[in-house]
Amino acid sequence: MNKKRGLQLERVVLLGRTFEEYCGYFALDSKLLHGKTVLDVAGGVGSFSAEAHQRGIDVTAFDPIYALTPQEIEARCGPDLHHVLDAVQGLSTYVWKSYRNPEHLRELREKAYRTFLADFAKEKGRHYIAGSLPKLPFDSNQFDLCFVSYFLFVYEDQFDYEFHRASIREIMRVTKSEARIYPIVTFEAEKSSYIEKLQRDPTLTHLKFQIVRTDFEFLVNSNYFLRISHANS
C-alpha cells in the first residue's frame, strides 16, 4: 500500500474561508449574486455568508455545527487552525501561490471565523441552519445557486460514493440553477475517483456535470471546480 503524502484528518475540521476566497474558488463575479438566493452547504465557520449579507446578498449557510453555541464552536476554531497550519507547511501537496505564506493564511482563517462568529451569534436559526447531508431541510427549487467548499470530494476517505451521490441529488433538488463544488481533488491532490462515477451514473442522467478551471490553487491541482446543472436547463 502506498504511503499517503497529503493532509491526514480524522474528522472534518473547522477552517473558515472568506468571501474573497469563495470568489477565487468558484470564479465568481460577486455582482452576479445580487438578486439571487444562495445556499452555502457545509458552510462551517467561513465568513462567506456574513460578508455576503453585508453586500446585500441573500445567503443561507447549512452545517451540523450550527446546532452548537457560538462558544462551543469558537473552542474548536483555534485548535483546528493550529493543527492544520502546522501540518500543511511540510507537505508537497500544497503550493504557496494563492497565499503568500503561512502567516497570511492564518490571518485569513482567523478573520473568517471571527467574522462568522459575530454574525452567527445574531443570525443563528435564520441565516444559519443546522443539519447534515445527505438531507437538506429546504423546499425544492428554493435556491438559485449552491456552493460547497472543501467538504465533498476532499474527504473521499471518510464519505463514500453513495453519500456523495445522495448529497448531490439532494443539493440539486433544492437548487434551481446550478451547484458548484470546490475542489474536485482529495487531500492527496488527486482527482476524486467519484467524479467519473457521477458522470456515468444512470440515476443522475437528469444532471449535467462540467469541470471548470479557476485561477485559485493552494492544494495542488485544486484549480478546478465541478459545476452541476439540470439537464433540461
Q: What is the DSSP string of 93-115?
A: TB-TTSSSSHHHHHHHHHHHHHH
- Distance, in Å, from the CA atom of 2 to the CA atom of 6, rounded to the nearest integer, reads 12
Model pLDDT for residues 93-129, shown as the tens digit of each residue: 888 888 888 888 888 999 999 999 999 998 887 899 9
Grid cell at residue 117: 462568529
pLDDT at 233 over 70: no
Model pLDDT for residues 128-142, shown as the tens digit of each residue: 999 999 999 999 999
By the 10 Å C-beta count (0-12 exposed, 13-18 middle, 19+ buried), 191 is classed as middle
pLDDT at 87 over 60: yes
More confident residue, 47 or 92: 47
Dihedrals phi, psi of 228, to nearest 5 degrees? -120, 130
> What's the mean pLDDT in 79-97?
82
pLDDT at 64 over 60: yes
pLDDT at 81 over 70: yes
pLDDT at 2 over 60: no
More confident residue, 29 or 165: 165
What's the pLDDT at 92?
83
Residue 5 pLDDT level (bands cut at 50, 70, 90): low
What's the pLDDT at 167?
98
> What's the mean pLDDT in 161-187?
96
Q: How many helices (H) and strands (E) does the chain have?
A: 6, 7
Rg (CA), the chain: 17
Taking all residues of the chain, what is their mean pLDDT, rounded to a whole number?
91
> What's the mean pLDDT in 144-165?
94
> What's the mean pLDDT in 146-164?
93
Burial 42-77 (b: 16+ CB within 10 A, else e): bbbbbbbbbbbeeeebbbbbbbebbebeeeebbeeb
Start-end ranges of CATH 3.40.50.150 in the chain?
A: 133-233
What's the pLDDT at 14?
75
pTM for this entry: 0.92
> What's the mean pLDDT in 198-222?
94
What's the pLDDT at 8?
63
Enumerate the β-bridge partners of residue 185.
Answer: 191
pLDDT at 90 over 90: no
- Nearest by Cα to 185 from 209, 215, 157: 157
- Distance, in Å, from the CA atom of 127 to the CA atom of 123, rounded to the nearest integer, reads 6
pLDDT at 13 over 90: no
Residue 1 pLDDT level (bands cut at 50, 70, 90): very low
- Contact yes or no for 88/7 (Cβ under 8 A): yes
User: Which CATH superfamily does the domain covering 133-233 fall into?
Assistant: Vaccinia Virus protein VP39 (3.40.50.150)
What's the pLDDT at 117?
95
